[in-house]
């Protein structure tokens, strides 16, 4: 198992000049290790990877790997809709020392079943480190079917898990039915971590963990240790805040929240931009309700 618990889907901080803020990235790594985050995903959706050029992308991955220094697993987002480009990024991340890769389902050109299967297989066979599939049909326009997930799980040795962000618990249950215990299922939605754990999940790749790392860790480990009631309490208590963090497209609200809390992660890159005023007010209120002090 690559990791168990809560992996933060780390934001990419920017300077006032809209450059990657590597000093802040190192600071965020220390914050997460201090606050019980179990793994770090760098250059995923929340990290605005689609707006990073290749030089920034690989530099951000190396920065996080070096800052973590093997204290917790680092999973690099190296997927895309160009198989050869994904292979290039994946090999670089492996050479830097990444513990695993997060590979998204191809978007825009989508791919048919045979193409998608070949895409994941070819990337996985180009490296030796473990790969987590990333199914997020709301972003990609294509859903990874449970049958295809199982074919990849049994057919490709280093495809070891999936980040399931379809929001469909029946689909999660079918994946869990079809794969064996060596294949890890992670929630890609903070609002359904507990339901996924109840189906045999191993944890969450979390947006919320950017500001609630301890709570995200505790939610998973309370369940895994048998304290379902505490896990349920955490899930329900955090739901209003989670809802506010997804009132607009991710990562707009989470970066806004981090800035409101004084974490100074900078602006977003276009085509993402600032939140609507009414949504900022909602986010501020839920942060206060959860006990945060705004700066």
Q: Which residues are catalytic?
A: 134, 163
The DSSP line for the chain is: ----EEEEE----B-TTS-B-HHHHHHHHHHHHHTT--EEEESSTTTTGGGS-HHHHHHHHHHHHHHHTTSS-EEEE---S-HHHHHHHHHHHHHHT-SEEEEEPP-SS---HHHHHHHHHHHHHT-SS-EEEEE-HHHHS----HHHHHHHHHH-TTEEEEEE-S--HHHHHHHHHHS-TTSEEEES-GGGHHHHHHTT--EEEESGGGT-HHHHHHHHHHHHTT-HHHHHHHHHHHHHHHHHHTSSSTTHHHHHHHHHTT-----PPTT--PPPHHHHHHHHHHHHHHTPPP-
The span from the CA of 272 to the CA of 18, in Å, is 13
Q: Which of these, 204, 188, 6, lies nearest to 105 by C-alpha position?
A: 188
**Paired tokens of 234:** 């955490």
The first and second tokens of residue 117, run together, are 């299967």
Whole-number Å distance between alpha carbons of 157 and 277: 48
| Residue 180: closest CA among 153, 206, 214 | 153
């Amino acid at each position: 198992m690559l990791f168990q618990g809560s992996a933060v889907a780390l934001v990419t901080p920017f300077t006032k000049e809209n450059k990657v803020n590597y000093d802040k990235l190192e600071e965020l790594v220390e914050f997460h290790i201090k606050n019980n985050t179990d793994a770090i995903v760098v250059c995923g959706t929340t990290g605005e990877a689609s707006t990073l050029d290749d030089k920034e992308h690989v530099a951000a991955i190396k920065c996080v790997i070096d800052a973590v220094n093997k204290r917790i697993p680092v999973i690099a987002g190296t997927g895309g809709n160009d198989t050869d480009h994904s292979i290039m990024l994946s090999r670089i991340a492996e050479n830097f020392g990444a513990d695993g890769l997060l590979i998204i389902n191809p978007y825009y050109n989508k791919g048919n079943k045979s193409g998608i299967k070949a895409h994941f297989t070819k990337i996985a066979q180009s490296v030796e480190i473990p790969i987590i599939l990333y199914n997020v049909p709301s972003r990609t326009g294509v859903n990874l079917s449970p049958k295809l997930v199982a074919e990849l799980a049994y057919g490709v040795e280093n495809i070891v898990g999936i980040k399931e962000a379809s929001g469909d618990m029946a689909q999660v249950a079918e994946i869990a039915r079809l794969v064996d215990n060596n294949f890890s299922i992670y929630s890609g939605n903070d609002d359904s971590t507990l339901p996924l754990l109840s189906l045999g999940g191993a944890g969450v790749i979390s947006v919320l963990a950017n500001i609630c790392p301890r709570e995200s860790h505790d939610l998973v480990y309370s369940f895994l240790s048998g304290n379902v009631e505490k896990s349920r309490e955490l899930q329900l208590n955090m739901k209003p805040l989670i809802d506010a963090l997804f009132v607009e497209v991710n990562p707009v609200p989470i970066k806004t929240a981090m800035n409101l809390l004084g974490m100074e992660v900078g602006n977003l890159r276009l085509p993402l931009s600032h939140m609507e005023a009414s949504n900022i007010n909602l986010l501020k209120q839920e942060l206060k309700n959860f006990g945060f002090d705004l700066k």
